[in-house]
Amino acid sequence: MRRSPDGAARAAGTARALGVILAGLGVEFESPQPAAFLVKLGGQHKLATMAWLIVGAHSLHVEAFFCRRPDENHAEFYRFLLQRGGRMYGVHFALDAVGDVYLTGRLPLAAITAPEIDRLLGCVLSYADENFDQALMLGFASSIRREWAWRTRRGESLANLRAFARLAGPDGAAGPDAG
């Protein structure tokens, strides 16, 4: 479906307004193409979540990469994410064709206000950050154990793996650099 001249003008105006809103919120963002904004959200567990905000003719599309397709324990991994879906606002977990996981959503253009964009970005950050460690433990436990063992053998820092210490096994004490 082609955009009407009024629809194109409305989308362009909305995109300008969204840029002003993002600047006012003080978030780190860039606009690599017209009506598309890439926002960087810093977290504690998932250190950075990159969220696309794309203004269309009728709605704002939101999309943020969460994690790649799990290596193992697929049923529990996807069950974990689906159980969260009923409590989420503005976005939901979704899969692409290869099974990578994203947070996606749509809002009507009329909902693009500073408070609503702040709420939406807060939700994206919260859902990505709060669910990240548990999702990794469910879908990537073997990889985490291998990484822990490799770092331990080499005397490398375990600091960014501390959330996964229980996967290291009974003799996998974190050591002084894990905290």
Q: Is 86 helix (H, G, I), strand (E, B) or coil?
A: coil
pLDDT at 138 over 70: yes
> Which of 12, 66, 62 lies closest to 37, judged by CA?
62
pLDDT band at 108 (very low <50, low <70, confident <90, very high): very high
Q: Which CATH number fits domain 5-128: 3.40.190.10, 2.40.40.20, 1.10.3720.10, 3.30.1460.10?
A: 3.30.1460.10
One-character DSSP codes across 14-83: HHHHHHHHHHHHT-EEEEEETTEEEEEEE-SSSSEEEEEEEE-SSEEEEEEEEEPPPSS-HHHHHHHHHH
Q: What is the pLDDT of residue 67?
A: 97
pLDDT at residue 178, as a whole number = 38
pLDDT of residue 88 exceeding 80: yes
User: What pLDDT score was predicted for residue 170?
Assistant: 53
Segment 127-137, tens digit of pLDDT: 999 999 999 99
pLDDT value of position 1: 45
Determine the distance from the C-alpha atom of residue 164 to the mean position of all C-alpha atoms in its chain, rounded to a whole number. Answer: 20
* pTM of the full structure: 0.86
Q: What is the pLDDT of residues 11-26, one digit of tens each?
A: 888 999 999 999 999 9
Q: Given pLDDT bands bounded at 50, 70 and 90, which one contains residue 168? A: confident
Q: In the chain, what percentage of residues exceed pLDDT 90?
A: 79
Strand order in 28-33's β-sheet? Answer: 28-33, 36-42, 48-55, 59-67, 101-108, 92-95
Domain boundaries, the chain: 5-128
**By three-state DSSP, how is residue 157 classified?**
coil
Residue 176 has pLDDT above 50, yes or no: no
